[in-house]
């Protein structure tokens, strides 16, 4: 299906990793270009402020990579919301000991130096991109931690497994933002690349909007682009 131009009346929701930036070997190694920063600023102006990032990364991480982004950031799969720089509110707080979870993750991953622990305010992730053969061990570790933390759920991601609060997701983040100005009353457009994005894609389409899958893999999205570069090109064409 041909991807139509982005309407200036749409509410635009964008994932970060694998969507706006290429997947990197480590989460802290992503490359954010000046062109991306400029593109987001121009989109924010064109859409009347109705541009939001919705990511599994926490808000502080996203704001750190994009300090000049003037729009809304929903982090930690919708557990955190930042309406502007310097503002963060918790939308959903799971009852668990984050410090204990992070300590357990580090201890269980320690025998495997190739594994990368990502500590988040509302959970944690274990990345095995550098050692795909360790996926069964990662799954065992994370399932064990999930059993010890009943308020968290196991979330598969690209070359990683994550524990995050149950009952939240990128779909609930999108739905919440659609109740707020300047998103309210617009048709949502969501672009993402991972299984964690699928519920938000379905949510956007259920509201009469549009979903765009970035990259390969099964999807509910009606539209697909091959990579972040193709998404950038589509967004730039919409800006002209």
User: What would the two tokens of residue 130 be?
Assistant: 């550098």
Residues facing 223 on adjacent strands: 212
As annotated, the active-site residues are 15
Which ranges constitute the DSSP H helices of the chain?
A: 34-46, 59-65, 98-109, 135-148, 170-177, 198-206, 228-239
CA 164 to chain centre: 12
Rounded Cα distance between 213 and 205, Å, is 12
Rounded to a whole number of angstroms, the CA Rg of the chain reads 17
Q: Is the distance from CB of 6 to CB of 238 less than 8 angstroms?
A: yes
């Amino acid at each position: 299906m041909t991807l139509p131009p982005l309407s200036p009346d749409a509410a635009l929701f964008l994932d970060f990793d694998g969507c706006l930036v290429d997947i990197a070997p480590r989460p802290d190694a992503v490359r954010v270009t000046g062109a991306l920063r400029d593109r987001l600023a121009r989109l924010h102006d064109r859409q009347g402020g109705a541009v939001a990032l919705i990511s599994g990364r926490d808000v502080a991480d996203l704001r750190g990579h994009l300090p000049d982004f003037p729009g809304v950031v929903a982090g930690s799969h919708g557990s955190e919301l930042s309406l502007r720089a310097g503002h963060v509110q918790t939308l959903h707080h799971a009852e668990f000991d984050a410090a204990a979870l992070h300590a357990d993750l580090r201890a269980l991953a320690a025998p495997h130096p190739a594994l990368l622990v990502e500590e988040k305010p509302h959970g944690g992730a274990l990345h095995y991109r550098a050692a795909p053969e360790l996926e069964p061990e990662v799954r065992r570790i994370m399932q064990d931690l999930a059993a010890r933390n009943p308020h968290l759920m196991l979330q598969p991601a690209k070359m990683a497994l994550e524990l995050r609060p149950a009952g939240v997701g990128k779909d609930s983040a999108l739905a919440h933002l659609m109740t707020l100005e300047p998103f309210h009353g617009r048709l949502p457009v969501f672009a993402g690349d991972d299984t964690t994005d699928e519920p938000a894609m379905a949510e956007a389409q259920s509201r009469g909007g549009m979903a765009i899958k970035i990259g390969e893999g099964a999807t509910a999205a009606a539209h697909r682009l091959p990579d972040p570069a193709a998404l950038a090109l589509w967004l730039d064409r919409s800006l002209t």
